[in-house]
Amino acid sequence: MEIPLTPMEFARRARRLYGSREAVVDGDLRLTYEQFLDRCDRWSACLQKMGVGKGDRVAYIAPNTHSHLEGYYAVPQIGAVLVPINYRLLSDDFEYIINHCGAKVVCAHSDYIEAVERIRPRLKGVEHFVALEGAGPGWIDYEAALKKQGPEFARPDIAEGDLLTINYTSGTTARPKGVMITHRNAYLNVMGTLVHHHLTPADRYLWTLPMFHANGWTFTWINTARGMTHVCLRRVEPAMIYQTIKDERITMFCAAPTVLISIANAPAEVRAGAPRGVRLFTAGAPPAAATIELIERELGWELTHVYGLTETTPLITFCEPLPEHESLSLQERAQIKARQGVELVSSGELKVVDEHGKEVPRDGQTLGEITVRGNVVMKGYYNDPEATNIAMKGGWFHSGDAAVVHPDGYVEIRDRFKDVIISGGENISSVEIEGCLLRHPAVQEVAVVGMPHERWGESPHAFVVLRQGGKTSEDELKLHVRNTLAHFKTPQWVSFVEELPKTATGKVQKFVLRSGKAGISRQ
């Protein structure tokens, strides 16, 4: 008899094999796998008593806490659908997402109860409000409910194609879209990651990546599959990250490039004593080779670049290290690691195609769009068939990412198509200019966008955040680019800013820079 492919199977196995091992650390709280999964079962039973059944949606608004993590098991194992919401959004965004997905239950951390209360009268479909921490009038106390409830619940049949989660996109230029991820999607993403990246029950994972972000790149289930320890981190601050790595003997974490930059540029006294050999995944935006080089040289950590989108569960490529890379210099290896890499064995088929749907040559130069089909591609956008049809044109998911393919088959993103700068008829990659500027010793972060130019149509405008104590000038940075890249790629303007506008997942909001609404001006 076949068993459906579902990440709930990892929980069954973990309880049987790793029951006495440490599963979750959240501040002073420590739970074994037996204790953790018992709490998940009790919450499943509570939800069923509230009337939550197969296909019903349960929304979560919470940072990386043990109770948030429990939702990734308690909700799906009763056949319901988890909707993890970006907690950095505003009340109006919460209202749209909760109503759009039709959530029957909303679970919120104490930090967000007030934001939910402001919109509560307009959440007509929500039957129960649960306070994961803290409580108030009209809210169910999560911990109190668990203490009163036994672990017995009705376990329904789950099919591979059933919805596991609905993950809403950032919605930076339009309303967020609800990405429908199935049990099969997540299971195969987990298995593909484990094929390419060796993890064991001895590993201890630090939750620097928000769990709501594409289900924590499925590490919500990967760690349990391997009997690892989940170490929760409620705030992403460099000092706290380093201290937790040291105190909890962390071996693995994930982070967007902007988080990596803040970690790498932390003061020496904060970095002091950090263990070498920590492994990390980065994704969410193309990391600069200079950032990778800095992490590996200064900290002795092993960085792996992965790529994907919420719509692909999320991982579809892995920058796989090859034996021939070992003889390269650190700088040469960093340049390869900055590429998005090759397909995971379980993800399906990836092609970089031109506007006619034909694969681009493997010359490292010809630009095309990354398209994907296969095991990890979403079921579609929830209640949005029009957007689904556009994204899945011809049976392939169209990413919107502009990339080249190198002779070795490794894909490298050059930009989002909407961010490619066309100057005087030439295509300019903002990512390439950013990577060049990040090699300047005074530069900590940079974003490059196209701005209108009366002669060239548009030209690059660099927004630069300097390192603490770093000094340079607009002319010096322009010369730095001119000496490295083709002259037409030199920024026409350079603005020095205190910080870059970003989404909750660390992506720079380039549309804000282009609109001039970031409160900054050219220098």
State whether 243 and 373 are in the same domain: yes
Q: Residue 265: what pLDDT?
A: 84
- Answer yes or no: are the C-beta atoms of 169 and 177 closer than 8 Å: yes
**Looking at the structure, do residues 242 and 145 belong to the same domain, yes or no?**
no
Domain coverage including residue 240: 236-416
Q: Which long-range contacts (CB under 8 A, 24 or more apart) does 396-402 make?
A: 396/351, 396/371, 396/372, 397/311, 397/312, 397/371, 397/372, 397/373, 398/369, 398/371, 399/309, 399/311, 399/369, 399/370, 399/371, 399/372, 400/369, 401/369, 401/370, 402/367, 402/368, 402/369, 402/429
Residue 505: predicted pLDDT: 67
Residues 458 and 411 in one domain: no
Query: What are the tokens at 363?
Result: 């010359």
Residue 1 domain-assigned (yes or no): no
- Based on the domain organization, do 148 and 268 belong to the same domain? no
510 and 429 inside one domain: yes
pLDDT at residue 172 is higher than 70: no
pLDDT tens digits, 223-240: 999 999 999 999 999 999
**284, 401: one domain:** yes
Q: Spell out the long-range contacts of 481-488 with Cβ–Cβ below 8 A and sequence spacing 24 or more.
A: 481/433, 481/436, 481/437, 484/436, 484/439, 485/432, 485/433, 485/436, 488/423, 488/424, 488/426, 488/428
- Mean pLDDT for all residues in the chain: 93
Report if residue 282 sits inside a domain.
yes
Q: Reply yes or no on whether the pLDDT at 450 is more than 50.
A: yes
Asked whether residue 54 falls in the same domain as residue 147, the answer is yes
Q: Do 267 and 132 fall into the same domain? A: no
Shared-domain flag, residues 385 and 247 = yes
Does residue 164 sit in the same domain as residue 266?
no
* Domain shared by 387 and 426, yes or no: no
Contact 57, 104 (CB under 8 A): yes
* Predicted structure pTM score: 0.88
Q: What is the CATH number of the domain that holds 272?
A: 3.40.50.12780
As for how many domains the chain has, the answer is: 3
* 382-392 pLDDT, tens digit each: 999 999 999 99
